Amino acid sequence: MTELLNFALKDTLTFLFIFVRIGIVFALLPLFGGESYPRRISATIVFFLSLVLLPVVPPAAVPAANLNVLTLIVLLLHELLVGLTLGLSVSIIFAGAQIAGEVIGFQMGFSIVNVVDPITGVDAPITANLLYLLAFLIFLSLNGHHMLLKALVESFTVLPVQAGLPHQAFLAAVMNYLGQAFVIGVKVAAPVIGILLLVNVAFAIMSRAIPQMNVFMMAFPVTIAVGLLFLIVVIRMMPMFMEGALANAWTFIRAVMPLY
């Protein structure tokens, strides 16, 4: 009877840790963690996905006799940090796309027409919402969700359920990777930023040459037209950017997990 209770307790603890790790990842994903998506559905998906992974995940090596509140907190903290790392590896890509959209919208003069993003629930320019949703669709088309599920399964092999805090090298690698959001944003927005900078310089020269010309009235529609034209170029380049960003995310996951 005691062995049966220990076996049930071990399975229950393993399921709890799997649920926490997967739940944190889903909370950081753009769709499942968004304001417009019901939390009840996300929790249901995480629950059944945890049940599916339970037979293939190594059981928690925590004897029932040694289990106490402090040990349980440390184990849950371990799963929380691992889940945050996996979730951030993907959400950074979408954050970069949103940063690019905000920069493009600011350069085009769209920052005064912010709308509520249905996914994140925050005010953002129209271009930011467009690139954010486009990045999510490309993520699905490139089987990014398959990559994330594969990373989740492999993470339980590389980092099994155990009590321990991360090493300094792990934290440094995660902090360095967070800067990729700005790198992705600048790369995606570079064509529009470059051409609008040339447009502004051209209007500045024209204003010096022809002081009577109302530069503001002429520059505003031209800036929007040129920005929209090169926004099409950015959209055409988005699959290439997303493919490279997903490859970097997978490399980051494979490299940072052993450092924990």
Is 73 in contact with 17 (CB distance < 8 Å)? no
As to burial, measured by CB atoms within 10 angstroms (0-12 exposed, 13-18 middle, 19+ buried), residue 192 is buried
Please say if the pLDDT value at position 139 is more than 60.
yes
Compute CA distances 110 → 104, 119, 129, 186, 246, whole Å.
Answer: 8, 20, 12, 18, 29
Q: Is 210 left (phi over 0), alpha (psi -120 to 50) or beta?
A: beta
Burial per residue of 49-85, b for 16 or more beta-carbon CB atoms within 10 angstroms, e otherwise: bbeebeeebeebebeeeeeeeeeeeebbebbebbbbb
| Span of 3-7, 42-46, 144-148, 240-244 with lowest mean pLDDT | 3-7
Instruction: State pLDDT tens for residues 74-92.
Output: 777 877 888 888 888 888 8
In this prediction, residue 119 carries a pLDDT of 57
* Closest among 191, 182, 193, 194 to 236, alpha carbons compared: 191
Residue 167 pLDDT > 80, yes or no? no
* DSSP structural state of residue 259: G
Q: What is the pLDDT of residue 26?
A: 81
Q: Kindly report the CA angle at 90 between 87 and 95, in degrees rounded to 5? A: 105
When mean pLDDT is compared across 35-39, 143-147, 243-247, the lowest value belongs to 35-39
Cβ pair 46, 19 in contact under 8 A: yes
Residue 123 or residue 42, greater confidence? 42
Is the pLDDT assigned to residue 208 strictly greater than 70? Answer: yes
Are 151 and 256 in contact by the 8 Å Cβ rule? The answer is no
Q: Quote the pLDDT of residue 1.
A: 42
The model's confidence at residue 177, banded by pLDDT at 50, 70 and 90, is: confident
Strand partners, 123: 116
**Claim: this prediction has a pTM higher than 0.85:** no
pLDDT at residue 3, rounded to an integer: 46
Kindly state the percentage of the chain with pLDDT values over 90.
0
pLDDT for the residue 5 = 44
**Residue 116, strand partner residues:** 123
pLDDT given at position 105: 81
Mean pLDDT, to the nearest integer, of 116-134? 70
CA–CA separation, 187 and 100 (whole Å): 8
pLDDT band at 96 (very low <50, low <70, confident <90, very high): confident
Does the pLDDT value for residue 57 go beyond 60?
yes
* Beta carbons of 134 and 237 less than 8 angstroms apart: no
Residue 115 in this model has a pLDDT that exceeds 80:
no
**For 221-245, how does the pLDDT look when each residue is reduced to its tens digit (9 = 90+)?**
788 888 888 888 888 888 888 888 8
- What's the pLDDT at 4? 40
Which residue type does 67 have? L
pLDDT of 187 strictly over 80: yes
Token pair, residue 118, equals: 């249905």
